[in-house]
Amino acid sequence: MERVLRLSLLLALTLPWMPSASSAQTTSRTAPDATAEEEEVLDDEDSPSADDEASEDGEAAPRLRAPSVEPVTLDPEASAGEGDDESEGEDEETVGESPEDAAEDELPEPEDADRRLDVGGDPTVAPWTTPQTIFELHGYMRMRGEFQDQFSMGRGRANPSQADLPFELFIPREDASVLGGAPAGGCAGGRGATTASCNQRALAFANMRLRLEPTVHLSDDVRVRMQLDVLDNLVLGSTPEGYGVVGSLGFGGSRYDSTYVPITAMAQTQMPPTAGVNSWTNSIVVRRAWAEVRNRGLGELRFGRMGNHWGLGILANGGAGIDADFQSDVDRVMAITRLAGFYMFGAWDFASEGYIYQNPVDYRVPWDAYRSDDVDQMTFGVARRTTPEEQAAALQRGDAVLNGGLFFVYRTQNLTTEGARNPLDPNPNAATAVFRRGFEVYVPDVWVQFLYENLRLEAEAVMFVGTLDNASLGSAPGFTAPNYQVLSFGAAFEGEYHLLNNQLGIYFNSGFATGDANLEGLSRTGDTAQFQRSRGSVGGTDRNLTAFSFHPNYRVDMIFWRTVMRQFSSAYYFRPGISYDFIRSSFGQLLGARADVIWSRASEPVQTWGNQADIGVELDAQAYYRSEDGPDLLDGFYASLQYGIFFPFGALAYLPGAAPGGTFQGGQNAQTLRLILGVQY
């Protein structure tokens, strides 16, 4: 009897530490991944031995189990996750489950999720973590050196009071023709050389950019994407120690206020670019940030600031490529779906909100202070584009692939506040120059692509049709009747064919943009202040806006259109070319060379400076190399050495009797030498 009492007391003390039968079965016999053999082994290991089963008097001996101690954590999500293995497979009718345990299995409310996104610095609240999130990073690092010889084409001011734009921008500032004489002390050293002129005609510099394109994948259907540029097109050597922007942040108009670096020659390091201090831009520029949410049965939703590209890119160009400089970014909400092989999309774009109330002292969320000055834009489109896998399979079978679609933009603006002195003036009454703009335009854009074996034919055509009541940019509206009629057209064609196992490439590109006989010059540089300008007077009788310009990132050549004019406009061109790849591996390695000839003519000869159609001929050549480093075919080291020479024709000459004389006679050949070094990842 005494032994029975001792046994009962011992069992009473040990029962609170022993797991329930259902828990023991879950951990030892009903593991999800356990096989029958494993379960038998577990049973054998957990079953008591012969020595344990019977004591000296034949009675079962009690066994003690070590208590299960869980680690202490402040994160209820983490503690719930750690117990999943033990609770998995447990009977739904388990007796003794507390309401708190049942609540842990329920999904958090939206309010709880919002609170976990930002804990506000509370040390007792753990952040919301998502262990399955995947971070992906792409981009490139590039450095470009460029030598520009005679990009002014030998032109200069025919009238001292009127700049010869854009050619005058490429005359070195130390040139005597710009300064009106030799620099103080002369350009050359030595005794008696204090009046020596520089007579410089070439510019040379280098710049760089680091582009980061991170993507945060929450799942296969939800992701957040960004695009950031670090030291974007920073001219190397442009921010030396001690350098400051004139008249900003208390510098009092002095460029160098540093005690340790009183002159540039003593600078020993480069400083990070800071807007308003030693540069006009900051070291890091955030260009895009947007989210993409996909429902595989319905389609995709995108919202934020994102890239905008269509077709060949003559209207909307995303700026892809290691040598790109310009791009189309748009603030929009966009919906995309695919039905029967056709992509259909629609978007509401925030093209311009006009005057924004933003006070740096009164800390508030900025808002749009005027509603009627907004530029509203709606974008629609339908396109058939095969996936890369479908396209590769069709071409392998010897089938032709036809892609194409229609891109349509509608843009309108009623009033405008562009007459305000400062769009960021915190005074809400500052934007008093409010007047009617009356702008409405329809933009249809058609794109088509044909692929067959090693042949690619691709074209894009776009048209602007609309009206404009007032083209004034100042505070004094210049309403005249009737209103302006907008009607312009542009088209581009690209063709290429590859031979000899794709090593030999033959190319032919062409493009056309309508001109305007009532405009002076092919460049927008001198016409930003006035849409219409008749020769010798402002506000002519012609009410038609017919000049069309390609997107500046759609490259036609290296010298005239890309650099001097900045973009192709009011002309047409023909560009045959040929390339050969000496090394072309299936892993992405590439070594080759290419040469192109570009012949350009004006759509309206009277629009040019010399009133002639022929603009010039440019010869461009390059050698390029890409290594096979990185997981993708395009990843790795990239290098390109480029040379171009432009021969100007009569369109860039002076009219009879209009040449200023001296060194400005026009017709000078322009040359460039460019080196691109980069790493793409």
* Token couple for 359: 């006070």
Q: Mean pLDDT over all residues of the chain?
A: 79
CA distance 284 to 373: 31
Per-domain boundaries in the chain:
2-90+99-107, 239-278
For 410-457, give the DSSP string: EEEEEEE-TTSS-TT-S-TT-----EEEEEEEEEEEEEEEEEETTEEE
pLDDT for 312 equals 96
Find, among 301, 303, 306, 291, the residue nearest to 216 by Cα: 291
pLDDT for 127 equals 56
When pLDDT is cut at 50, 70 and 90, the band that residue 613 belongs to is very high
Peptide bond preceding 423 in cis form (omega within 30 of 0):
no
pLDDT: which is higher, 117 or 535: 117
CA distance 626 to 665: 43
Section 314-341 average pLDDT? 94
pLDDT: which is higher, 190 or 207: 207
Distance, CA of 398 to chain centre: 36
pTM beyond 0.85, yes or no: no
Section 18-25 average pLDDT? 40
pLDDT for 168 equals 86
- Tell me the torsion sign for CA atoms 173, 177, 181, 185: positive
Find, among 402, 531, 498, the residue nearest to 458 by Cα: 402
Give exposure, 47-84, as e/b (b: 16+ Cβ within 10 Å): eeeeeeeeeeeeeeeeeeeeeeeeeeeeeeeeeeeeee
Given a cut of 50, whether residue 510 has pLDDT beyond it is: yes
Per-residue pLDDT reduced to its tens digit, 62-81: 433 333 333 433 344 444 44
Matching residue, tokens 């692509």: 449
- Residue 177 φ then ψ, to 5°: -65, -25
Helix or strand or coil: residue 557? coil
CA distance 214 to 138: 6
Section 278-294 average pLDDT? 93
How many CB atoms lie under 10 A from the CB of residue 381? 19
Matching residue, tokens 């319905």: 298
Per-residue pLDDT reduced to its tens digit, 400-451: 999 999 999 999 999 888 765 565 565 655 555 678 889 999 999 999 999 9
pLDDT for 397 equals 94
Find all residues with CB under 8 Å of 517, minimum gap 6, and list them. 542, 604, 606, 607
Find, among 679, 635, 491, 651, the residue nearest to 572 by Cα: 491
Given a cut of 90, whether residue 329 has pLDDT beyond it is: yes
**Crossing angle between the packed helical segments 21-28 and 36-46, to the nearest 10 degrees:** 130
CA distance 677 to 323: 10
* Token couple for 83: 């117990």
Find, among 142, 137, 148, 145, the residue nearest to 172 by Cα: 148
Q: Is 427 exposed, middle or buried (0-12, 13-18, 19+ CB in 10 A)?
A: exposed
pLDDT for 203 equals 94
Q: Percent of the chain, pLDDT > 90?
A: 47
Section 333-357 average pLDDT? 92
Helix or strand or coil: residue 17? helix
Max mean pLDDT range (415-424, 472-481, 610-619):
610-619
